[in-house]
Structure 1
Amino acid sequence: MTNNTGESRLPLYRNRSFVLYFFTFLASSLSVAFFLFTVNWYVVDYLRLEAMLGLVFFASSVPRLLFMLIGGAIADRVNKATIMLLSDFTKAVLLILVIGLLVFDLVSIWVLVGLAFLFGLLDAFFWPASSSLLPKLVDREQLTRANSIVHTTQRFSVIAGPLIAGVVIGFGSYELMFGLVSLMLLLAAIVDLYLRKRVGLDEEEQQTHPSVWRSVMDGIRYVKESPFLLTLMLTSVSLNLFLSGPLQVGLPIFARNVIGGGEFTYSLLSGVLGAGMLIGAVIVGVINVNRRRGLVSLISIVALGVFMIAFSLTGELWVSLLVISLVGLTLSIIDVPILSAIQAHTDEKYIGRMMSLISFASMGLLPVSFLLTSLFISIGFSIDEIIFVASCCLLTVGLIVITFAKSIRYVD
């Protein structure tokens, strides 16, 4: 893989382009953690519409799903930092407008649904660009460690974000919280601007490209020729059906209805989940897993199913915190090795499309998962019952994949 800055073989802390990437990723990740916590708690606690929370997640996931492939194709032909800049800046402007609506108490569930839709649309272009930019900044041998640092940053944001947001909302206001999110996005946009100047277009990106649709189809054909990538996508679809809705929609409801807490309890659960993710990312980064990465991820999928079942059966706060930390740890151990293997074994001219296709597969059934979770809540099922059944299905998928998916089990 090429590196336009000539810094790819330097230690990561001396690679200025990677350092800039780290800072913009930190600001973007914190803003996402702040935003998700604030919207989720506003719907559950202020609007008292917990059954509608799945609709907000649905609204954000559909545009990601529909436009992710286009976003990946575009990321392969333009400056990726430019896409990140436009996404971060536009989100900041949208949140400033929402603050104005909050002042006059005009934020309804439908305002939040519309906001979630626009954020999902912007993310459909941001994440393929950011994921495919990293291999251009570091050498192939440093990818696992670089991905571990990026994931550690993201996990730190998942820890710090809810804890900070819980305090700000509890002692401040939703207006102050959304203002903080918009500030983080503006800071990320400024760093994106500097990164854009350092990372230009390489020869491949400067060439004349076929239509976006043809680029997407070329990426799909590339995946079909790889049993590893194809099996991974099918696995991601199944996992997200049984994990995303019950965990993302269910966590604030679990905090209030099962444990009997408030915004601080929700922030603790979210923060400890992130702490587990952080520990998992650090473990993978220190070990620098470069062998049998697929097998490591598959074992973690089975462990994740077991821990999710245990979480559904908890009722005490300290037990829930312990188990949710193990859930977070296994999530990182699943993600980092597989992502590094994909980046290392994908032709550079397809990397943007591969990142978008992997994301597309992982989010393929997200809307269904969110809506099913909300549907079961609305007809009377408790959130712990929903998490238990979904976790049993997740464990079954993990056992099937680890038994039969040789293409993932033996990948390095």
Structure 2
Amino acid sequence: MTTITGIAAAPAHRDPQVLRWLGAYTASTLGDSVYYLALSWTAVSSGTPAQAGLVMTVSAVPRALLMLGGGVVADRLGPRRVVIASDTVRCLVVLGLAATLFLASPGLWALAAVGLVFGVVDALFLPAVGALPARVTARDQLARVQGMRGLAQRMGAVLGAPLGGLAVAVGGTASAFGVAGALFALSVPLLAALRLRPLPREDEQRDGTALRDLADGLRYVRGHRTLGPLMIVVLLSDLGFVGPLNVGLAVLSEQRGWGASGIGWVLSGFGVGAGGASLLLTVKGHMPRTGVVMGWTMVLGAVSIGALAHIPRLPFAALAALSVGLLAGLSGALCNALVQTECDPAYLGRVSAVASLGSLGLAPLTYPVTGVALGAWGTGPVFVVSAAVCALAGVYALAVRAVRRAELPEG
């Protein structure tokens, strides 16, 4: 294993550069979890449920509208610069909100304003985060880095909510927002210490406009024999998966009489499975016949999704969720790693934006559709249809020769 200069490089899990990146990403992910818990608690405490829902969703609109533009910014300015600026802005805004809540009761308008800022910043942050791994490690370590990123995401989900809840219990919502701001602040010096790998054509001047860069990136994705189909795979899997996980589980738990704790057990099963998939990829670092494994894990994961709505007992439902997490986590990590290795690094910001737009911009639009369908037909048919969409993603991946034959470099 060598770097682009021919000098031997350490494996990702022993590379100080990667570990700095991982520490910064983990701190930022924890900050996100604490922030969203504090925001939802403050919104519910300060207004009606409908008003709280509006506050929680106000960031989705600018994030969806500006995501593709954020990819252009990441490629033009460099991902590290964009991520540092994003976390700095989030830190200052959240600490400002904490100070405001400590001194006064500003009302829901302040929460909505902060949510709006977060939506704009996320549109810049997410594509840049997707483009950064290729700048801190060798190409043959990107699969392992995606596994490490998945572990950081699981840690943020598992530890962030209890940390935020503890902060609210001890010092109120102002304290929780202060903790979130401190975590965002922690990521900044770690990111600033990174030494980025140079990219081919990095010194070329960009003479075109941002709009031309965006059009160029979309043409690149559409014309690439592997990335174009991979974007369709990502979109289909997100459309099939996001609705049942975020809306259907609550309805399923209520119908089965599992209660709120039942949702927790099912989500815990999913989290353990997804964490196991990330750990496997982190340790192994390479998956032979990557495209085939990715496609089949999507198909098998879809079977587990469909079965989840037909399991009456909570322990078995949690086991099914563990299977969903393991298979979906592995297929998602492999898909992300293929995007990293197949993409020309000069386009990674824009390609990451296209991939993120599906999961964070379009897939949430299925929430109301899923809710209406659940009310009309019940959980069984809705979960089966969702499973069919996820299975279609896997079948499509297996049917497209370039994706089926895609391989991660062996480290």
Smaller-chain TM-score bracket: 0.7 to 0.9
SS of alignment partner, residue 90 of structure 2: helix
The more displaced of 328-337 and 60-69 is 60-69
8 Å CA contact 1:24–1:191 kept in 2: the answer is yes
For 2:31, the equivalent position in structure 1 comes to 31
For 1:85, the equivalent position in structure 2 comes to 84
For 2:226, the equivalent position in structure 1 comes to 228
| Counterpart Cα distance in 2 of 1:386 and 1:102 | 45
The more displaced of 24-33 and 219-228 is 219-228
User: How many Å apart are 1:23 and its aligned residue?
Assistant: 0.9
TM-score for both structures, normalised by structure 2 = 0.82
The more displaced of 253-262 and 145-154 is 253-262
Aligned equivalent of 1:407, options 381, 402, 407: 402
Residues 265 and 194 (structure 1), Cα distance of their counterparts in 2 relative to 1, 3 Å cut: farther
Which residues of 2 match residues 147-226 of structure 1 at below 5 A? Answer: 147-169=146-168, 173-195=172-194, 198-199=195-196, 204-209=201-206, 210-226=208-224
For 2:351, the equivalent position in structure 1 comes to 354
Residues 393 and 41 (structure 1), Cα distance of their counterparts in 2 relative to 1, 3 Å cut: farther
TM-score for both structures, normalised by structure 1 = 0.82
Could you tell me the percent identity over the aligned residues?
Answer: 25
Q: What amino acid is the match of 1:142? A: Q
8 Å CA contact 2:135–2:198 kept in 1: the answer is no
Residues 398 and 42 (structure 1), Cα distance of their counterparts in 2 relative to 1, 3 Å cut: farther
Which residues of 2 match residues 6-405 of structure 1 at below 5 A? Answer: 9-39=9-39, 49=49, 53=53, 58-99=57-98, 102=101, 106-108=106-108, 112-169=111-168, 173-195=172-194, 198-199=195-196, 204-209=201-206, 210-249=208-247, 261-262=259-260, 269-314=266-311, 317-373=314-370, 380=375, 384=379, 388=383, 390-398=385-393, 400-401=395-396, 404-405=399-400
Residues 156 and 403 (structure 1), Cα distance of their counterparts in 2 relative to 1, 3 Å cut: same
Deviations, residues 173-208 of structure 1 (Å, cap 9, x unaligned): 44433332222111112322333xx33876744432
Deviations, residues 210-252 of structure 1 (Å, cap 9, x unaligned): 2111111111121122232112212222222232233235556
Deviations, residues 24-71 of structure 1 (Å, cap 9, x unaligned): 011011122333444456667986637974x56653333233222222
8 Å CA contact 2:71–2:349 kept in 1: the answer is yes
SS of alignment partner, residue 182 of structure 1: helix
8 Å CA contact 2:229–2:397 kept in 1: the answer is no
Count of aligned pairs between the two proteins: 404
| Counterpart Cα distance in 1 of 2:190 and 2:41 | 30
| Counterpart Cα distance in 2 of 1:25 and 1:170 | 26
SS of alignment partner, residue 77 of structure 2: coil
Structure 1 vs Structure 2 CA RMSD:
3.6
Unaligned runs of 5+ in 1: none
8 Å CA contact 2:291–2:403 kept in 1: the answer is yes
SS of alignment partner, residue 21 of structure 2: helix
Residues 3 and 33 (structure 1), Cα distance of their counterparts in 2 relative to 1, 3 Å cut: farther
Q: What amino acid is the match of 2:399? A: F
Q: What amino acid is the match of 2:90? A: K
SS of alignment partner, residue 343 of structure 2: coil
| Counterpart Cα distance in 2 of 1:261 and 1:243 | 22
User: How many Å apart are 1:317 and its aligned residue?
Assistant: 4.5
Residues 346 and 400 (structure 1), Cα distance of their counterparts in 2 relative to 1, 3 Å cut: closer
